[in-house]
Structure 1
């Protein structure tokens, strides 16, 4: 049952866009959480009855090393950090709840995987889960290229040479080429370095087993190349170099075996890139099948050429041929994307600006951070240029923003423990682990739940590997069964509470999202408003539902809804702008001025909202002037003209500086007109204009 649950979670993670969206997480965790609660309850029942089944569980706990124990506990500690933020107040209660659910899922997953890998059959199950996930990701990405599996967003098209040298990049089920490439690198490196132990087995592994072990190399490598992710390529190359340095004595034969499939992947990449990932269905599939089979046979032939029974010259010839194929494949890839690799680095400037701007938020709460979704909701307040980037392109910085130094130290300790566990028990997984660390530092990989599940699956596979005979574990002595007998029921009870509590939270989130989606599909505003109100009852912290509902009800009711939602996300720019607009609709100039100022502090590069705020203030000033309140009208107009003055200066500064302007921040024609009229109404001379 545990193996089936692991299969189901990973299959759902692949199908639901890698669990990037929290709304996909609700459904997955709801089913998995209930299963975990049931499994924990059954285990507790067995222990209380003193069944013989408790023996293996107690033995498993006794044999757990401190490293494995830390990896098992750390996700729940991260969950606790986010729960504390949600209870004490943060930038987003919704973000805290979603992150707590994520870490509860990761922790429960690694616990089940660790228990599953306690015997030889369980280790095979973990390996099967890993290969199933990689196969699903690769096939669901490559088949749309040949028109056999229609999948929206599987291919990312662009005309920007900064983003793609060929105009099309493979994104697969993850819908994001960079993370997809990084994930494919994990699977490719695992297969490549698994060939070393396989080829050195005594007695020798059957030829069919060797072919099966190298079978995924071409699709994994092709998917990695077609993602055109320079970061994933570099991370894979650095991780491969580190792995070769550690395993240099037994990696010559695997490299020769893999040379032909990797070169075949390079040829396939060049062919599909030239066609912008739009191959003819039948001819394309036949080409793929022929190239795949031919590269497998060529790799097997090269391996036999340099076999143990071969002479010195034949072995050198086989090694040279393998090296030539690898070099030719690298040359093909470099020739295809040379311009982008050598000259196009524009996207790096925005990422560098993100990291630099993030330090302003870190300084505000260095120890505990500001809770989940800190960067998503706060980056517009600190951004030094109008770039677009609601996701921090560094997992480490994102964790630092959310949970502060305490959370970052906790996470780093968990990563280090997992790395040490992999190094001691299963070094063939070390390159995949290194690639996970490297690419997670420069992209949004860690925002995908599936990426973390793969990391914990790596750690569980390493923990499941038996130590070589006669080798010390390096851990502490196991606790006596009498002592453990008291620990296991307490841990199981705690796990049941976490699983049930998280399932309830996931159910509320799921129902709230379902009601929200029903409201968006409704054509009747009254019915939509009722659905949105129901959505907020299920999930009061969902600010998107509050914003949608506020647009369907009268201004006084909308103000109450927006204020309640603001209590769950105090710095949300959308809520602040909506409150400013709501104050204008109600004719409350004081509130409009207050909320406009608050919104500008949180979102200074929003040209559309700045323009609307000027129009709103102009209308309020005119209303006061018509009512005979000239002094109040001039006060409002002066404030509005001051906003226009700041807007014009910021727009001019943005125009003159050579910076990214992804948000297209500029002084609009309407803003110029509103500024002119505000200046006339306020009685001041316009000192700042932009032509």
Structure 2
């Protein structure tokens, strides 16, 4: 088999793997949970790992003449695209070495960015190959079809997806009582994804009309075919943020179109009106329709919008000016009817009920205060998840900070966020020069990620890197016409440090311009590549083993077997606090204390571990430890009514036990601490400013807590009563 055939086979395997991992991320809740990423890391990492081994062996074995062959030129934007994920991976590795707030969260983020880096390298390699554009386009459209098709089939009752629709009675969350979440199981991010796929189709139509003004109607309709499903899914998500960012990105994209700016709007008018009517009908049924009526409604709206679009196309292309004006008037009526249908259906969501925005404001203020504790380097992975209960100003539920940029600031500080912004800027510049029609799609990701938790979904980052690689996969003549980013100021900013580094290297070592130095440099890079992929696969394997054993332990009926499985799980991943807490519940108090303290060394300040240690100290009769851990738990989780009530109960029973055993000093110590903690708890629960704005955690002074407060006070009076 010739070298060309081998190369094509390898690229074919890479393309199939890229599409497979993208579809897997769709099926696995968008890779929101890192545990879903472990198997993908292990399998997907094998290809670049063995590819690196092969490349290293070939590099060491080739002759000097072969080493003199110059590699293909790589632009500054491509370098940033490829290197940035691994730089962020290195930042998290440094946090791991220096001691973060959460070792478990830091390793998870390290694995995530390493995986994104592997995907970016594969996508760029495919983009630079012959036929790469088709592979990347196929991956994009396959992901969109899977996400949108499965969601609409779930609404119609055809495909059973338990979490595809989110039901709620809160009018501030949904106007219809139900929102479409699809496979990602989160309506806002699902809305973002549908907006991205919708805008890609819209501006693909614009690009088609710009390249081929006389394109046939069949081609136009084929390109417009997914518009209605994407628009309907976007509307059914009821994500106001996705609606707004889609509108802003579409307006910006149309402003960038120098010719035929409004032609895509004409083609999209009928599908939008059909999607709006379908949304109104399905929302009235709370997204719970019977299969036959649901499919009929979907098919009817889809077919009708295509026929209407075909009629508008014929009128717009007519030679008569009156017919063209009629086409635009009809398109305007379709668009107006669609907007009216959406507004009348979601009026409450659009003009009222902004409680979620108020909650985000509180989250952002609290997060900014947390950021100021370590502004330059951050505090490691999942800083907000571990710390928000200690810094929150009112009892909202918010384990996610709802801003990808703010989350990166908390994790990695200004340093890591600067790398992230450089990466996003490089992708934007690349798309400006190479494939401008993808800019609105990219803009939706960048804008919506600032106000929601989209960047916590691995699928979102995979699609962003796919977009960037798609921008690189232009035809040769397009690359020659405008690919050199050095023609504008933005490229100069990105390319100057890299060019300067190259000049300094050549000046420092005259041999650097020779071929031997380049060969050694390539070998070093390949060794680093093997180290990164090998370490990533090993960490992913350990994480997967720990997660699998944890699940088996929870399913085990025998307590002894469950404890043994949890021990094995902790051996594979000692930083998992949840596993440590589960194991401690099944062990004698002394053994449980050692397990909990060891876990606390990996996650200092973890509220669950602190309350578990307080309860453990009560069981062991250690008065001073019980007080210390309870006080720490109250500080780290200010609005946890259940745990605080349980701690007050434990402190009262321990104080009574100490008093009855004759340890009056220890009893007084526990009583004083218990009364002080109860007083703080009662004051927080009675403060209207802290619970009126947002009380998702249902924080209140429980009846049991009031009882234990009275018992503590009564016992305290008994201790101080004259004998």
Structure-2-length-normalised TM-score: 0.91
Q: Which residue of 2 aligns with 1:511?
A: 545
CA-atom RMSD in angstroms = 2.2
Residues 654 and 665 in structure 1, CA contact (< 8 A), matched pair in contact too = no
Q: 2:30 aligns with which of 12, 15, 18?
A: 18
What is the rounded CA distance, in whole Å, between the counterparts of 1:446 and 1:281 in structure 2?
Answer: 34
Residue 228 in structure 1 maps to residue 225 in structure 2:
no
1:147 CA drift (Å): 1.3
Structure 2 CA distance for partners of 1:535 and 1:207, relative to 1, 3 Å: same
1:472 CA drift (Å): 6.1
Residues 635 and 682 in structure 1, CA contact (< 8 A), matched pair in contact too = no
For residue 169 of structure 1, give the secondary structure of its aligned residue in structure 2: strand
Q: Which moved more, 1:320-329 or 1:284-293?
A: 284-293
1:58 CA drift (Å): 7.3
Q: Which residue of 2 aligns with 1:380?
A: 389
Q: Which residue of 2 aligns with 1:31?
A: 43
Q: 1:172 aligns with which of 172, 175, 182?
A: 182
What is the rounded CA distance, in whole Å, between the counterparts of 1:348 and 1:667 in structure 2?
Answer: 27
**Mapping for residues 265-664 of structure 1, pairs under 5 Å:** 265-307=275-317, 309-466=318-475, 467=478, 469-471=480-482, 473-475=484-486, 482=515, 485-654=519-688, 658-664=692-698
Residues 434 and 482 in structure 2, CA contact (< 8 A), matched pair in contact too = no
For residue 288 of structure 2, give the secondary structure of its aligned residue in structure 1: coil
1:634 CA drift (Å): 2.4
Give unpaired runs (5+ residues) of structure 1. Answer: 687-691
For residue 608 of structure 1, give the secondary structure of its aligned residue in structure 2: helix
Q: Which residue of 2 aligns with 1:43?
A: 55
**Mapping for residues 13-162 of structure 1, pairs under 5 Å:** 13-50=25-62, 62-162=72-172
What is the rounded CA distance, in whole Å, between the counterparts of 1:253 and 1:145 in structure 2?
Answer: 32
What is the rounded CA distance, in whole Å, between the counterparts of 2:161 and 2:137 in structure 1?
Answer: 27
What is the rounded CA distance, in whole Å, between the counterparts of 1:567 and 1:533 in structure 2?
Answer: 17
Q: Which residue of 1 aligns with 2:509?
A: none
Structure 2 CA distance for partners of 1:299 and 1:58, relative to 1, 3 Å: farther
| 1:545-601, Cα deviation, whole Å (9 max, x unpaired) | 100000000000000000000011011100000000000000000000010111111
What is the rounded CA distance, in whole Å, between the counterparts of 1:580 and 1:140 in structure 2?
Answer: 47
What is the rounded CA distance, in whole Å, between the counterparts of 1:472 and 1:90 in structure 2?
Answer: 41
What is the rounded CA distance, in whole Å, between the counterparts of 2:548 and 2:584 in structure 1?
Answer: 18
What is the rounded CA distance, in whole Å, between the counterparts of 1:49 and 1:191 in structure 2?
Answer: 47
Residues 433 and 485 in structure 2, CA contact (< 8 A), matched pair in contact too = no
Residues 162 and 340 in structure 1, CA contact (< 8 A), matched pair in contact too = yes
Q: Which residue of 1 aligns with 2:715?
A: 681
Structure 2 CA distance for partners of 1:363 and 1:685, relative to 1, 3 Å: farther
Structure 2 CA distance for partners of 1:454 and 1:638, relative to 1, 3 Å: same
Structure 2 CA distance for partners of 1:637 and 1:469, relative to 1, 3 Å: closer
Residues 160 and 167 in structure 1, CA contact (< 8 A), matched pair in contact too = yes
Q: Which residue of 2 aligns with 1:193?
A: 203
1:192 CA drift (Å): 0.4
What is the rounded CA distance, in whole Å, between the counterparts of 2:659 and 2:131 in structure 1?
Answer: 82
Structure 2 CA distance for partners of 1:187 and 1:7, relative to 1, 3 Å: same
What is the rounded CA distance, in whole Å, between the counterparts of 1:51 and 1:263 in structure 2?
Answer: 65
Q: Which moved more, 1:467-476 or 1:629-638?
A: 467-476
What is the rounded CA distance, in whole Å, between the counterparts of 1:38 and 1:269 in structure 2?
Answer: 49
Residue 211 in structure 1 maps to residue 257 in structure 2:
no
For residue 156 of structure 1, give the secondary structure of its aligned residue in structure 2: strand
What is the rounded CA distance, in whole Å, between the counterparts of 1:514 and 1:263 in structure 2?
Answer: 48
Residues 545 and 572 in structure 2, CA contact (< 8 A), matched pair in contact too = yes
For residue 252 of structure 2, give the secondary structure of its aligned residue in structure 1: helix
For residue 699 of structure 2, give the secondary structure of its aligned residue in structure 1: coil
Structure 2 CA distance for partners of 1:492 and 1:326, relative to 1, 3 Å: farther
1:360 CA drift (Å): 2.1
Residues 430 and 485 in structure 2, CA contact (< 8 A), matched pair in contact too = no
What is the rounded CA distance, in whole Å, between the counterparts of 1:672 and 1:202 in structure 2?
Answer: 76
What is the rounded CA distance, in whole Å, between the counterparts of 1:183 and 1:119 in structure 2?
Answer: 27
| 1:64-114, Cα deviation, whole Å (9 max, x unpaired) | 210111111000000011111112111110111110110011111011100
For residue 687 of structure 2, give the secondary structure of its aligned residue in structure 1: helix
Q: Which residue of 2 aligns with 1:689?
A: none
1:606 CA drift (Å): 1.0
Structure 2 CA distance for partners of 1:300 and 1:43, relative to 1, 3 Å: farther
Residues 58 and 484 in structure 1, CA contact (< 8 A), matched pair in contact too = no
What is the rounded CA distance, in whole Å, between the counterparts of 1:611 and 1:555 in structure 2?
Answer: 21
What is the rounded CA distance, in whole Å, between the counterparts of 1:214 and 1:518 in structure 2?
Answer: 48
| 1:448-496, Cα deviation, whole Å (9 max, x unpaired) | 0000000111111112224355446134799989475554443333222
1:406 CA drift (Å): 0.5
Structure 2 CA distance for partners of 1:353 and 1:263, relative to 1, 3 Å: same
What is the rounded CA distance, in whole Å, between the counterparts of 1:212 and 1:119 in structure 2?
Answer: 27
For residue 297 of structure 1, give the secondary structure of its aligned residue in structure 2: helix
Structure 2 CA distance for partners of 1:173 and 1:472, relative to 1, 3 Å: closer
Residues 375 and 414 in structure 2, CA contact (< 8 A), matched pair in contact too = yes
What is the rounded CA distance, in whole Å, between the counterparts of 2:197 and 2:438 in structure 1?
Answer: 10
Residues 655 and 666 in structure 1, CA contact (< 8 A), matched pair in contact too = no
Count of residue pairs brought into register by the alignment: 683
Give unpaired runs (5+ residues) of structure 2. Answer: 1-12, 487-494, 503-512
What is the rounded CA distance, in whole Å, between the counterparts of 1:42 and 1:336 in structure 2?
Answer: 59
Structure 2 CA distance for partners of 1:654 and 1:546, relative to 1, 3 Å: farther
| 1:191-210, Cα deviation, whole Å (9 max, x unpaired) | 10011121232484343322
Structure 2 CA distance for partners of 1:7 and 1:642, relative to 1, 3 Å: same
